[in-house]
């Protein structure tokens, strides 16, 4: 896959760039991971920095997908972005989903399951699906030549309303047409479009795959990156009452002398270079916890921040799970891993997260898992 420099602000459009084939789903999501995994990992990736002893990481279970029995009509899926619902349950939102196997029957995205699990250490279980006995696509659209699929990016709850940011792909996976925000006023049972479509080239294409967390100051803070895993991270803030208003998205900009909040017409500056994939940002225990998949390093890293505007270039980073080779995995080495999302109920001392995995060579593995991290604080 073609790589751009981390700070290159080239927008992504639905038209393949001249001289480059259309990006395939496999290439965009996983890039060179399969090749790297087979090449040995001892010297392929640089070390992460940490201010404390390494935490203890344990795989709790396979949650749903190819390695578990079919649940709610789901035989293959990924992601599982969790958020606390207004009614007290936790919703888990998944990406491309099939009834049996990758590319098989009943293609849907996004879909969602509810869980009432409170003892996270015992493992998350699912109680019900949005849509009934078979998990339904959260809103109607056709997987056709115009929109190939819609991928969830993150979910947040503000009072009695949940907001879901989603990435609209078409005609090929990784060619982002736009991103959009949906809302639910019934704990995820039904979803309505807010009317907000953000352009794919917002912030130079760095605000396609986002994660957001609610501050105690009336703002939601959102980290963003490109959907192609070839860009660094930017920051926006939005008044929590205006998540469906494009004019309310304020970029964090560098004006040559200082950092400041900009206007919607300005482009956010890159606050951390590299090549990032799925991320999660949550306020926990008086701090802000960031977890993210670093494609450049082939690993999942965490940072404990004081505020979302901390200097991420010097913030200590702790590697939670390294990329690994198929057939040589353990709790801290997982082949073709991605998508680390923090499960509600986590603390800095006892963190639970969903992590996805896809064997893009055989499609025999395409699922979401639960991991526990003890001692991050």
Cα dist from 263 to 179, 200, 203, 250, 321, whole Å: 19, 18, 12, 6, 37
Give mean pLDDT, residues 17-23: 30
* Predicted confidence band of residue 2 (pLDDT cuts 50, 70, 90): very low
First to last CA, the chain: 37
pTM: 0.90
Q: Is the pLDDT of residue 251 over 70?
A: yes
**Domains of the chain: residue spans and CATH:** 25-38+55-374 (2.115.10.20)
pLDDT score recorded for residue 52: 57
pLDDT score recorded for residue 264: 86
Q: Is the pLDDT of residue 184 over 60?
A: yes
Q: What is the DSSP letter of 366?
A: E
* Predicted confidence band of residue 172 (pLDDT cuts 50, 70, 90): very high
Give mean pLDDT, residues 230-250: 98
pLDDT tens digits, 42-79:
223 334 544 457 899 999 999 999 999 999 999 999 99
pLDDT tens digits, 322-359:
999 999 999 999 999 999 999 999 999 999 999 999 99
Alpha helices in the chain (DSSP H): 25-30, 33-39
218 CB-near residues (< 8 Å, 6+ apart): 239, 240, 241
* Predicted confidence band of residue 1 (pLDDT cuts 50, 70, 90): very low
376: tokens are: 């991050």
Of 59, 41, 37, the residue nearest 331 (C-alpha): 59
pLDDT score recorded for residue 169: 97
* Predicted confidence band of residue 25 (pLDDT cuts 50, 70, 90): low
Question: Tokens 């469906």 identify what position?
Answer: 244
pLDDT score recorded for residue 31: 47
pLDDT tens digits, 101-143:
999 999 999 999 999 999 999 999 999 999 999 999 999 999 9
313 versus 24: the higher-pLDDT residue is 313
Give mean pLDDT, residues 234-257: 97
pLDDT score recorded for residue 106: 98
pLDDT tens digits, 73-108:
999 999 999 999 999 999 999 999 999 999 999 999
Contact 335, 320 (CB under 8 A): no
Contact 234, 250 (CB under 8 A): no
pLDDT score recorded for residue 35: 37
314: tokens are: 């010097």
Buried-state track 314-352, b at ≥16 Cβ within 10 A, e below 16: eeebbbbbbbbbbeebeebbbbbbbbbbbbbbbebebbb
Task: Please state, in angstroms and rounded to a whole number, the distance separating the CA atoms of residues 290 and 303.
Answer: 5
pLDDT tens digits, 264-317:
889 999 999 999 999 999 999 999 999 999 999 999 999 999 999 999 999 999
pLDDT score recorded for residue 180: 98
Task: Please state, in angstroms and rounded to a whole number, the distance separating the CA atoms of residues 163 and 215.
Answer: 15
Cα 155-160-161 angle, rounded to 5 deg: 40
217 versus 42: the higher-pLDDT residue is 217
């Amino acid at each position: 896959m073609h790589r751009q420099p981390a700070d290159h602000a080239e927008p992504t459009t639905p038209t393949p760039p001249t001289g480059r084939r259309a990006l395939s789903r496999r290439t965009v999501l996983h890039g060179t991971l399969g090749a790297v995994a087979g090449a040995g990992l001892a010297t392929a990736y640089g070390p992460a920095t940490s201010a404390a002893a390494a935490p203890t990481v344990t795989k709790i279970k396979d949650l749903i997908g190819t390695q578990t029995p079919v649940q709610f009509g789901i035989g293959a899926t990924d992601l599982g972005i969790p958020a606390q619902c207004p009614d007290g349950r936790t919703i888990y939102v998944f990406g491309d989903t099939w009834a049996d196997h990758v590319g098989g029957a009943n293609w849907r995205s996004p879909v969602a399951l509810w869980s009432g699990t409170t003892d996270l250490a015992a493992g998350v279980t699912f109680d019900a699906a949005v849509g009934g006995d078979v998990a339904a696509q959260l809103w109607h659209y056709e997987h056709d030549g115009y929109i190939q699929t819609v991928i969830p990016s993150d979910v947040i709850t503000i009072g009695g309303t949940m907001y879901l940011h989603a990435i609209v792909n078409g005609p090929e996976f990784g060619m982002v047409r736009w991103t959009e925000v949906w809302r639910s006023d019934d704990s995820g049972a039904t979803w309505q479009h807010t009317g907000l479509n953000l352009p794919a080239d917002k912030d130079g294409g760095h605000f396609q795959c986002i994660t957001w967390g609610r501050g105690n100051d009336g703002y939601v803070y959102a980290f963003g990156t490109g959907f192609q895993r070839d860009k660094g991270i930017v920051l926006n803030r939005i008044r929590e009452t205006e998540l469906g208003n494009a004019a309310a998205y304020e970029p964090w900009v560098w004006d040559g002398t200082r950092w400041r909040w900009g206007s919607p017409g300005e482009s956010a500056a890159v606050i951390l270079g590299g090549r990032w994939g799925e991320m999660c940002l949550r306020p926990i225990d008086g701090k802000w916890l960031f977890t993210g998949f670093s494609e450049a390093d082939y690993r999942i890293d965490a940072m404990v921040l004081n505020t979302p505007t901390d200097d991420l270039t010097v913030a200590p980073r702790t590697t939670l799970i390294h990329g690994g080779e198929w057939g040589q995995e353990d709790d801290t080495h997982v082949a073709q891993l991605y998508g680390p999302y923090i499960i509600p109920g986590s603390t800095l001392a006892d963190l639970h997260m969903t992590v996805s995995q896809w064997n893009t060579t055989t499609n025999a593995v395409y699922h979401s898992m639960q991991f526990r991290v003890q001692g991050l604080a």
